[in-house]
C-alpha cells in the first residue's frame, strides 16, 4: 500500500458514485429535465399573469348626457387614463340609466358611469348661488341643487379590485370637479368684483405623494418573475437531489453492497463524503444550467434575460452552500429512513413544503405575515433570499454570508445527525 | 492469545436492544489456519451476527475476538485487509458491469491498477465469466451473480475468506463449480469460513465443522470425527437434527 492510498481509495469511491449516478436515468431526468421544464413554465405563467394585471383595461360604459364642459372633461380624463376601455353606445345607441345598470349587472362591463343632463349647468348655478351669498354677507349657506354622478359596479368584481378602481375613479372625477368649481367661482367673482382675481397659476395638487418601494435595511425589493423563478427553481431542483441521494444510500444498504464496502478499508464518513462530492458537482451543474437558461433561453420565449448581479463569487458561495444544505438533508433522510418508499415520500413532501413556505412557488412578499414567518425556517428561503440580494441589490460575498452560513450549518448538522444515527442505531458499531 | 487460530472468539456475547434472549451466548469458536471451516446452524442461531461481529459490522457486549492474533477491540485497520467477505445477498452494484464492480472493490483494497486488472482477468477466467465481463450485473443469471459476488470478496487475495451461504439459489452446475473453486482456493493457503444450510456440501468440502445453536457452539471437529463420535448418526444431517431438533426455527 503506497502513501497515496487514501486518495486513490477515495477516487474509487467517487468513481463508483459517478457511475451509479450516470446509469440512473430516472434520477437524472428528475434532477435536470424537471427543473428546466418547471423554471420555463412557471416563469412564463407568472410573466403572463403579471402582464395581464398590469396591461389590463377595465371595460367601462360611459353615458354622458351633460352637454357642458364638466361631462366632456370627465369623459376625456377617463379615456386618457389608460386604465379603462371606454364604450359610449350599445348597438349604436346611447343607453339609458336602466340599460346602463343592466349592462353592468350582466358583467359585460365592470363599471358604468352615468353623467346626467345639465350637470355643468347645475354646478354653475350652485356656484353662482354660493358666490352671491358670500358677497352679500349672508351667514347661512344657500340651498344647492343636488348634482349626482352615478357609478354602477359589477357585483362580481373582487373587493380589492373594486377598491382600487373606485379610488382611482373618484380621485379623477373629484379633481375635475374641483378644478371646474374653482374656475367657475373665479369667473363669477370677477363678474361682480371691481378687482379681478386669477387662479390660473393655482394648482389643486399642493400635496405631493412620493411613492417608493419599501425597504428594510435595503431589502424587500420586488423581483421580476425571471429574477424570482430562476433562483427559486434552481434551489428546488438542488433540493430534489434528496430523492436520488437518499434512495441510493438506502438501495446500497438493502442490497448489501454498503456492508461489503464497510468490510473493506473504507470508513462510513468516506463513503458519505464521496456521495456528497458527486452530488455537489451535480447541484452546481444544475445551478449553471438553470442560470444559463435564464440568461440565454428566456429571451427566446419573450421573457427578460436574467441579470446575474455584479458578484460571481457571491453566486458561487450561495450555490455551494445551498448544495451542501441539500446534500446534508438527503444524507440524513437516507440514514434515518428504513425503506426507499419512506425516503422518497418523506423527501418529496418535505421538499415541497420547504419550497411552498420558502417562497419558491409564491414569492414571500405576497404571503401573509404568519406564512412569511414560517418561511424563515426553510433552507430554500435562505438560499432564495441570498440570490435575490445579489440580483436586486448587487450584493457581494459579505452581504450573503449570513444566508450562506446558515445553509452551511444546516447541511453540516444534517451530516452529523446522519453519521451519529447510523453508528448508534443501524450499524451498532 | 489468539495467535494459534485464524479466527478465535472467546465467550462472545451479544443481546440486541429490546430482545430478552441473547443472540450470542458465550460463543467460543476456533478456526485453525488453512482450514475450510463449516459453520452449521439453524435459522436464528446467531451465525449472521457472529459473522457481522468478526467483520466489524456490529459491536458486541462482551468477550474477545481475534483475527490472526489481532484483537478486534483494537480496531479494524489491521484486520480489514486480511478478511474477504462473500455475503449471502448479492452485494454488487446492479447497474454496473461485472468489470466495473470488481475494479471498484479491488481499488478500495489499494491494489495497483496493473495487478488489479490481472487479478480480475484471472478470477473471471477461473469462474468462467470472462465473456460477460462488460455485461451489467442486473442482466446476469442467479448463478453468475453468485460467482461475481465471490470474486469481489477474494480480489485482494485475503488470508481469510468468509462465505455466507454462497450456493443458495443457484443451479447444480454453478454450485459444483463454486465448491470446486473453494477447495482450490483453500488449497492455495486461504482459510475459509463457510456457512451453509446444505449439510452434504459441508460434509463434502469442509476440513472441520462446528454446529451452533442458541448463540453458542454445541460441537466442533472434522466431519469424519463427528460422525464417529455421534453414532449411530451416519451423516452430518443426522447429527445436525439430533443436536438441534426437528422443530422449525423461523425467526424475524
Query: How many CB atoms within 10 Å of residue A182?
Result: 14
Q: Considering the domain boundaries, does residue A221 fall inside one?
A: no
Task: Supply the DSSP symbol for B95.
Answer: T
Boundary (domain end) residue, out of A168, A192, A216: A192
Contacts of B90 in chain A (CB under 8 A): 255-256
* B152/A428 Cβ within 8 A: no
- How many angstroms separate the CA of residue B227 from the nearest CA in chain A? 35
Phi/psi zone of residue A216: left (φ > 0), alpha (ψ -120 to 50 degrees), beta?
Answer: beta
**Least reliable range by pLDDT among A105-119, B151-165, B202-216:** A105-119
The residue of chain A nearest to residue B154, with distances taken between CA atoms, is A264
Q: Are A261 and A271 spatial neighbours (Cβ–Cβ below 8 Å)?
A: yes
Residue B207: its H or E element: none
CA distance B20 to A388: 58
Residue A131: which pLDDT band, with cuts at 50, 70 and 90? confident
What is the secondary structure of B16-74 as a DSSP string? -TT-SS-SEEEEEEEEETT-EEEEE--TTSSHHHHHHHHTTSS--SEEEEEETTEEGGG
* B89/A256 Cβ within 8 A: yes
- pLDDT for residue B231: 83
- How many angstroms separate the CA of residue A340 from the nearest CA in chain B? 16
Superfamily of B5-244 according to CATH: P-loop containing nucleotide triphosphate hydrolases (3.40.50.300)
- Report which of A106, A104, A63, A118 is spatially closest to residue A87, judged by C-alpha positions: A63
Percent of chain A, pLDDT > 90?
Answer: 40
Residue B168 in contact with partner chain A when CB distance is under 8 A: no
C-alpha cell at B20: 430478552
Q: Are A233 and A35 spatial neighbours (Cβ–Cβ below 8 Å)?
A: yes
* A263/B80 Cβ within 8 A: yes
CB-closest option in B90, B107, B152 to A12:
B107
CB-closest option in B80, B87, B95 to A264:
B80
Q: Considering the domain boundaries, does residue A198 fall inside one?
A: no
Radius of gyration (C-alpha) of chain A in whole angstroms: 33
User: Of A39-43, B14-18, B103-107, where does the model show the most confidence?
Assistant: B103-107
What are the residues facing B84 on neighbouring strands? Answer: B161
Per the model's pLDDT, the better-predicted residue between B139 and A120 turns out to be: B139
- How many angstroms separate the CA of residue A15 from the nearest CA in chain B? 8
Residue A429 in contact with partner chain B when CB distance is under 8 A: yes
CB-closest option in A19, A252, A255 to B100:
A19
Backbone phi and psi for residue A291, each to the nearest 5 degrees, phi listed first: -65, -40
C-alpha cell at A167: 379610488
**Farthest-apart Cα atoms in chain A, separation:** 116
- pLDDT for residue A216: 44
- How many angstroms separate the CA of residue B56 from the nearest CA in chain A? 7
Residue A24 in contact with partner chain B when CB distance is under 8 A: yes
Domain co-membership, A239 together with A177: no
- How many angstroms separate the CA of residue B81 from the nearest CA in chain A? 7
3-state secondary structure of B221: strand
Query: How many CB atoms within 10 Å of residue A230?
Result: 25
- pLDDT for residue A2: 53
Section A348-359 average pLDDT: 93
Task: Supply the DSSP symbol for A90.
Answer: B
* B110/A263 Cβ within 8 A: no
- Report which of A427, A379, A421, A386 is spatially closest to residue A403, judged by C-alpha positions: A386
Domain co-membership, A363 together with A401: yes
State the count of interchain CB pairs (< 8 A) between A and B: 84
Domain co-membership, A291 together with A146: no
Mutate to test the interface with A, among B95, B137, B148 (most CBs of A within 10 A): B95
Section A395-404 average pLDDT: 92
Residue A427 in contact with partner chain B when CB distance is under 8 A: yes
C-alpha cell at B11: 465467550
What residues make up the domain containing A343? 5-51+226-426
Mutate to test the interface with B, among A10, A248, A264, A424 (most CBs of B within 10 A): A264
Mutate to test the interface with B, among A19, A247, A263 (most CBs of B within 10 A): A263
Section A89-99 average pLDDT: 90
Q: Are A289 and A306 spatial neighbours (Cβ–Cβ below 8 Å)?
A: no
Q: Are B37 and B208 spatial neighbours (Cβ–Cβ below 8 Å)?
A: yes
Domain co-membership, A258 together with A397: yes
Give tens-digit pLDDT for B18-63.
888 899 999 999 999 999 999 998 888 888 899 999 999 888 999 9
Boundary (domain end) residue, out of A192, A214, A238: A192
Mean of the per-residue pLDDT values of chain A: 83
Section A220-244 average pLDDT: 87
Per the model's pLDDT, the better-predicted residue between A300 and A136 turns out to be: A300
Mutate to test the interface with B, among A252, A255, A260 (most CBs of B within 10 A): A260
Contacts of B152 in chain A (CB under 8 A): 260
Domain co-membership, A83 together with A40: no
CATH number for the domain that contains residue A120:
3.40.1710
Upstream peptide bond of B232 is cis (omega within 30 degrees of 0) = yes
- pLDDT for residue A123: 79
Residue B95 in contact with partner chain A when CB distance is under 8 A: yes
- Residue located via cell numbers 468516506: A270
Domain co-membership, A113 together with A144: yes
Q: Are A213 and A222 spatial neighbours (Cβ–Cβ below 8 Å)?
A: yes
Residue B105 in contact with partner chain A when CB distance is under 8 A: yes
CB-closest option in B87, B96, B110 to A1:
B110
- A401 burial type by CB count under 10 A (0-12 exposed, 13-18 middle, 19+ buried): middle
Task: Supply the DSSP symbol for A364.
Answer: G
Q: How many domains does chain A have?
A: 2
* B104/A16 Cβ within 8 A: yes
- A139 burial type by CB count under 10 A (0-12 exposed, 13-18 middle, 19+ buried): exposed
Give tens-digit pLDDT for A306-345.
988 889 999 999 999 999 999 999 999 999 998 999 999 9
Contacts of B95 in chain A (CB under 8 A): 19-20, 23-24
Which sequence spans correspond to the domains of chain B?
5-244
Contacts of A429 in chain B (CB under 8 A): 56-59
Residue A5 in contact with partner chain B when CB distance is under 8 A: yes
- pLDDT for residue B9: 96
* B103/A12 Cβ within 8 A: yes
The residue of chain B nearest to residue A252, with distances taken between CA atoms, is B93
Q: Considering the domain boundaries, does residue A204 fall inside one?
A: no
**Least reliable range by pLDDT among A347-356, A372-381, B170-179:** B170-179
- Distance spanning both ends of chain B, measured CA to CA: 36
- pLDDT for residue A169: 66
* B91/A19 Cβ within 8 A: no
Q: How far is CA A195 from the centre of its chain?
A: 59
Section B163-177 average pLDDT: 86
Task: Supply the DSSP symbol for A131.
Answer: H
Contacts of B107 in chain A (CB under 8 A): 8-9, 11-12, 15
Q: Are B150 and B167 spatial neighbours (Cβ–Cβ below 8 Å)?
A: no
What are the residues facing A152 on neighbouring strands? Answer: A112
CA distance B25 to B23: 6
Domain co-membership, A409 together with A270: yes
Q: Are A242 and A329 spatial neighbours (Cβ–Cβ below 8 Å)?
A: yes
Query: How many CB atoms within 10 Å of residue B10?
Result: 16
What are the residues facing B136 on neighbouring strands? Answer: B97
- How many angstroms separate the CA of residue A227 from the nearest CA in chain B? 39
- pLDDT for residue B66: 96
Residue A214: which pLDDT band, with cuts at 50, 70 and 90? very low
- pLDDT for residue A105: 87
* B90/A256 Cβ within 8 A: yes
Amino acid at each position: 500500500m503506497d502513501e497515496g492510498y487514501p486518495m486513490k481509495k477515495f477516487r474509487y469511491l467517487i468513481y463508483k458514485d459517478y457511475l451509479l449516478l450516470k446509469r440512473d436515468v430516472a434520477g437524472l431526468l428528475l434532477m435536470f429535465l424537471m427543473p428546466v421544464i418547471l423554471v420555463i413554465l412557471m416563469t412564463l405563467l407568472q410573466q403572463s399573469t403579471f402582464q395581464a394585471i398590469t396591461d389590463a383595461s377595465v371595460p367601462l360604459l360611459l353615458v354622458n348626457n351633460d352637454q357642458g364642459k364638466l361631462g366632456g372633461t370627465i369623459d376625456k380624463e377617463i379615456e386618457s387614463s389608460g386604465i379603462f376601455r371606454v364604450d359610449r353606445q350599445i348597438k349604436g345607441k346611447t343607453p339609458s340609466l336602466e340599460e346602463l345598470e343592466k349592462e353592468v349587472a350582466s358583467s359585460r362591463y365592470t363599471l358604468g358611469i352615468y353623467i346626467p343632463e345639465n350637470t355643468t349647468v347645475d354646478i354653475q348655478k350652485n356656484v353662482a348661488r354660493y358666490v352671491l351669498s358670500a358677497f352679500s354677507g349672508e351667514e347661512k349657506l344657500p340651498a344647492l341643487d343636488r348634482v349626482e354622478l352615478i357609478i354602477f359596479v359589477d357585483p362580481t368584481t373582487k373587493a380589492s379590485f373594486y377598491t382600487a378602481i373606485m379610488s382611482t375613479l373618484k380621485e379623477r372625477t373629484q379633481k375635475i370637479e374641483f378644478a371646474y368649481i374653482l374656475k367657475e367661482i373665479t369667473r363669477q367673482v370677477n363678474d361682480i368684483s371691481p378687482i379681478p382675481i386669477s387662479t390660473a397659476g393655482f394648482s389643486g395638487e399642493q400635496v405631493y405623494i412620493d411613492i417608493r418601494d419599501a425597504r428594510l435595511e435595503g431589502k424587500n425589493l420586488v423581483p421580476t418573475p425571471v429574477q424570482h423563478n430562476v433562483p427559486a427553481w434552481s434551489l428546488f431542483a438542488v433540493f430534489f437531489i434528496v430523492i436520488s441521494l437518499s434512495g441510493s444510500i438506502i438501495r446500497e444498504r438493502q442490497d448489501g453492497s454498503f456492508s461489503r464496502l464497510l468490510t473493506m478499508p473504507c470508513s462510513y464518513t468516506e463513503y458519505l463524503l464521496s456521495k456528497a462530492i458527486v452530488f455537489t458537482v451535480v447541484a452546481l451543474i444544475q445551478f449553471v444550467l438553470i442560470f444559463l437558461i435564464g440568461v440565454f433561453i428566456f429571451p427566446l420565449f419573450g421573457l427578460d434575460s436574467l441579470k446575474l448581479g455584479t458578484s460571481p463569487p457571491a453566486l458561487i458561495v450561495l450555490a455551494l452552500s445551498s448544495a451542501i444544505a441539500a446534500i446534508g438533508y438527503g444524507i440524513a433522510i437516507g440514514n434515518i429512513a428504513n425503506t426507499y418508499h419512506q425516503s422518497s415520500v418523506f423527501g418529496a413532501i418535505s421538499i415541497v413544503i420547504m419550497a411552498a413556505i420558502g417562497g419558491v412557488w409564491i414569492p414571500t412578499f405576497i404571503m401573509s405575515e404568519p406564512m412569511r414567518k414560517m418561511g424563515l425556517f426553510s433552507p430554500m428561503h435562505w438560499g432564495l433570499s441570498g440570490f435575490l440580494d445579489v440580483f436586486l441589490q448587487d450584493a457581494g460575498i459579505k452581504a450573503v454570508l449570513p444566508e450562506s452560513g446558515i445553509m452551511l450549518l444546516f447541511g453540516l448538522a444534517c451530516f452529523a445527525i446522519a453519521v451519529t444515527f447510523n453508528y448508534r442505531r443501524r450499524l451498532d458499531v | 492469545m489468539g495467535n494459534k487460530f485464524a479466527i478465535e472468539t472467546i465467550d462472545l456475547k451479544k443481546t440486541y436492544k429490546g430482545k430478552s434472549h441473547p443472540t450470542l451466548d458465550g460463543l467460543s469458536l476456533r478456526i485453525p489456519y488453512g482450514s475450510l471451516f463449516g459453520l452449521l446452524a439453524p435459522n436464528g442461531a446467531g451465525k449472521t451476527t457472529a459473522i457481522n461481529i468478526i467483520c466489524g459490522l456490529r459491536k458486541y457486549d462482551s468477550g474477545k475476538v481475534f483475527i490472526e492474533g489481532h484483537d478486534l477491540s483494537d480496531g479494524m485497520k489491521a484486520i480489514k485487509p486480511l478478511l474477504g467477505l462473500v455475503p449471502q445477498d448479492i452485494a454488487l452494484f446492479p447497474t454496473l458491469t461485472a468489470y466495473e464492480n470488481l475494479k471498484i472493490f479491488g481499488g478500495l483494497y489499494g491494489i495497483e491498477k496493473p495487478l488489479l486488472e490481472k487479478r480480475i482477468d484471472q478470477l473471471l477466467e477461473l469462474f468462467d465469466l470472462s465473456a460477460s465481463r462488460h455485461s451489467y450485473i442486473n442482466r446476469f443469471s442467479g448463478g453468475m451473480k453468485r460467482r461475481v459476488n465471490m470474486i469481489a470478496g477474494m480480489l485482494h487475495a485475503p488470508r481469510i475468506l468468509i462465505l455466507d451461504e454462497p450456493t443458495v439459489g443457484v443451479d447444480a452446475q454453478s454450485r459444483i463449480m463454486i465448491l470446486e473453486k473453494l477447495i482450490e482456493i483453500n488449497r492455495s493457503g486461504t482459510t475459509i469460513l463457510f456457512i451453509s444450510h446444505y449439510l452434504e456440501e459441508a460434509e463434502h468440502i469442509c476440513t472441520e465443522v462446528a454446529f451452533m445453536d442458541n448463540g453458542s457452539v454445541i460441537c466442533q471437529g472434522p466431519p469424519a470425527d463427528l460422525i464417529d463420535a455421534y453414532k449411530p448418526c451416519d451423516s452430518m444431517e443426522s447429527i445436525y437434527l439430533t443436536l438441534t431438533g426437528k422443530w422449525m426455527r423461523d425467526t424475524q
